[in-house]
């Protein structure tokens, strides 16, 4: 049996609790310590998850030789500093998506990963959902034929709940609003499925939210393969998580009940994937093998931290997803004009990903 890997959550809000519950569903990870600037938050988190210790400062946490890695779930604009500091301290690092606030920050993270050779993973867990994995398998096996279009939407009601005391209220901390918080998942998913995006056209609107950020975004993607894609995300409706793929042999339509998102070991039970073959009217259900995206990604990271695995979503993958977000923001600034993605990747030394299936 593999010895437990000692990890320490950093930033102890709602999402840290989601990931802590996921880690506890397995027997590989030991939540050994934790850190937040708030002493009350540390004590509450320790009590809830039976964590034996906490650190009074981030430096103290990183100096603990018993900790193998940190799990960062802090606001986006803090990622660069926390990640680079942990890598320089010799700790493996898992950070929730997006990798960073800006591409400049992401470049600093990339430099730290390359300088230290440390283990680094980014929480683009949605590609691990059974529906996405099955779509990828069907594409790679040629069962859907050539793909001409793909549509994805990830939306929820968060924008209606924002208040000035939350960091997501502010455009400077959440550029693109739901685009950087939700759409970045599909920016990773769609490139995982179909390969690199060449150009992006986008528009955003602030309609119902009182915050500084938009609550409706629409992005058109042109893939290097020639296929077209739509990425929609909003912050002013009940939760939606969908992917619709159109192929010359099959259409695939995936729908997940967002109310079960946080408990990823249950999500597949509340998801549907249907196929529609060329020339057929019937939409046939496709079996979805059970997955647990949060637990699986954390355990992969834990094994990588002790040299027994390689993380799937690495620094360049995460930067490619973030580049779609910032290219879309620039397109919106230009009134929806098409903007090439390549210059954004060139600026941070990242090559477009290999084509789908390679």
User: What mean pLDDT comes out for the span 273-299?
Assistant: 96
Measured CA distances, 308 to 127, 279, 305, 311 (Å)? 22, 47, 8, 10
**Full residue range of the structural domain in which residue 271 is found:** 127-290+320-347
Look up the CATH number of the domain holding residue 23: 3.40.50.720
Residues 114, 138 within the same domain: no
Give this prediction's pTM: 0.95
Domain total of the chain: 2
Residues 110, 12 within the same domain: yes
CB atoms closer than 10 angstroms to residue 3: 8
Whether 41 is covered by a domain: the verdict is: yes
User: What mean pLDDT comes out for the span 101-123?
Assistant: 97
Residues 83, 160 within the same domain: no
Residues 100, 182 within the same domain: no
Q: How far apart are CA 242 and CA 253, in angstroms?
A: 8
Instruction: Count Cβ neighbours within 10 Å for each residue of 82-110 and write b for 16 or more, e otherwise.
Output: bbbbbbebebbbbbbbbbbbbbebbbbbb
Read off the pLDDT of residues 314-339 as tens digits, 9 standing for 90 and up. Answer: 999 999 999 999 999 999 999 999 99
User: What mean pLDDT comes out for the span 112-117?
Assistant: 98
Read off the pLDDT of residues 223-261 as tens digits, 9 standing for 90 and up. Answer: 999 999 999 999 999 999 999 999 999 999 999 999 999
Residues 25, 140 within the same domain: no
Whether 158 is covered by a domain: the verdict is: yes
Whether 170 is covered by a domain: the verdict is: yes
Residues 152, 59 within the same domain: no
Q: Is the peptide bond before 136 cis (omega within 30 degrees of 0)?
A: no
Residues 160, 112 within the same domain: no
Residues 84, 170 within the same domain: no
Q: Which residues, at least 6 apart from 17, have a Cβ–Cβ distance to it below 8 Å?
A: 45, 48
Q: For the chain, how big is the Rg over CA atoms in Å?
A: 20
- List strands edge to edge, sheet with 69-72: 29-31, 5-10, 69-72, 92-96, 120-123
- Contact, 152 vs 229, CB < 8 A? yes
Residues 155, 270 within the same domain: yes
Look up the CATH number of the domain holding residue 131: 3.30.360.10
Whether 356 is covered by a domain: the verdict is: no
Whether residue 354 is predicted with pLDDT greater than 60 in this model: the reply is no
pLDDT band at 2 (very low <50, low <70, confident <90, very high): low
What is the token pair recorded at 319?
């930067």
Full 3-state SS string of the chain:
CCCCEEEEEECCCHHHHHHHHHHHCCCCEEECCCECCCHHHHHHHHHHHCCCCCCCCHHHHHCCCCCCEEEECCCHHHHHHHHHHHHHCCCEEEEECCCCCCHHHHHHHHHHHHHHCCCEEEECHHHHCHHHHHHHHHHHCCCCCCEEEEEEEEECCHHHHCCCCCHHHCCCCCCCCHHHHHHHHHHHHHHHHHCCEEEEEEEEECCCCCCCCCCEEEEEEEECCCCEEEEEEECCCCCEEEEEEEECCEEEEEEECHHHCCCHHHHHHHEEEEEEECCCCCCEECCCCCCCHHHHHHHHHHHHHCCCCCCCCCHHHHHHHHHHHHHHHHHHHCCCCCEECHHHHHHCCCCCCCCCCC
pLDDT at 38: 95
Whether 101 is covered by a domain: the verdict is: yes
Residues 230, 306 within the same domain: no
Residues 88, 237 within the same domain: no
Whether 111 is covered by a domain: the verdict is: yes
Read off the pLDDT of residues 182-226 as tens digits, 9 standing for 90 and up. Answer: 999 999 999 999 999 999 999 999 999 999 999 999 999 999 999
**CA neighbor of 9 nearest in space, from 100, 123, 174, 177:** 123
Whether 256 is covered by a domain: the verdict is: yes
Whether 357 is covered by a domain: the verdict is: no
Read off the pLDDT of residues 19-49 as tens digits, 9 standing for 90 and up. Answer: 999 999 999 999 999 999 999 999 999 999 9
Residues 82, 141 within the same domain: no
């Amino acid at each position: 049996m593999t010895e437990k890997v000692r990890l320490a959550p950093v930033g102890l809000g709602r999402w840290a609790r989601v990931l802590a519950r996921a880690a506890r569903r397995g027997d590989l990870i030991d939540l050994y310590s934790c850190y937040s600037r708030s002493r009350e938050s540390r004590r509450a988190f320790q009590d809830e998850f039976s964590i034996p210790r906490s650190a009074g400062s981030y430096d103290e946490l990183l100096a603990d030789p018993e900790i193998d890695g940190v799990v960062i779930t802090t606001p986006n604009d803090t990622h660069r500093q926390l990640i680079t500091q942990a890598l320089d301290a010799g700790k493996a690092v898992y950070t929730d998506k997006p990798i960073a606030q800006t591409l400049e920050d992401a470049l600093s993270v990339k430099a730290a990963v390359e300088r230290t050779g440390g283990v680094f993973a980014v929480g683009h867990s949605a590609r691990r959902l059974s529906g996405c994995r099955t779509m990828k398998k069907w594409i790679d096996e040629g069962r859907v034929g050539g793909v001409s279009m793909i549509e994805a939407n990830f939306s929820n009601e968060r924008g209606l709940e924002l208040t000035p005391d939350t960091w997501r209220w502010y455009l400077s901390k959440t550029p693109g609003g739901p685009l950087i918080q939700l759409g970045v998942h599909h920016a990773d998913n769609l490139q995982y499925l179909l390969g690199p995006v060449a150009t992006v056209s986008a528009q955003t609107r602030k309609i119902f939210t009182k915050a500084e950020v938009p609550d409706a975004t629409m992005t058109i993607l042109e893939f290097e393969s020639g296929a077209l894609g739509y990425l929609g995300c909003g912050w002013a409706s009940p939760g939606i998580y969908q992917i619709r793929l159109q192929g010359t042999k099959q259409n695939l339509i995936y729908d997940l009940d967002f109310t079960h998102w946080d408990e990823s070991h249950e999500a597949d039970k509340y998801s549907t994937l249907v196929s529609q073959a060329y020339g057929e009217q019937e939409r046939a259900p496709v079996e979805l093998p059970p997955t647990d995206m949060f637990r699986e990604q954390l355990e992969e990271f834990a094994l990588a931290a002790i040299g027994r695995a390689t993380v799937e979503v690495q620094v360049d993958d995460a930067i490619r997803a973030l580049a779609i977000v910032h290219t879309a923001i620039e397109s919106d600034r230009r009134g929806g004009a098409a903007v090439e993605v390549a210059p954004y990747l060139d600026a941070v030394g990242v090559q477009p990903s290999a084509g789908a299936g390679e």
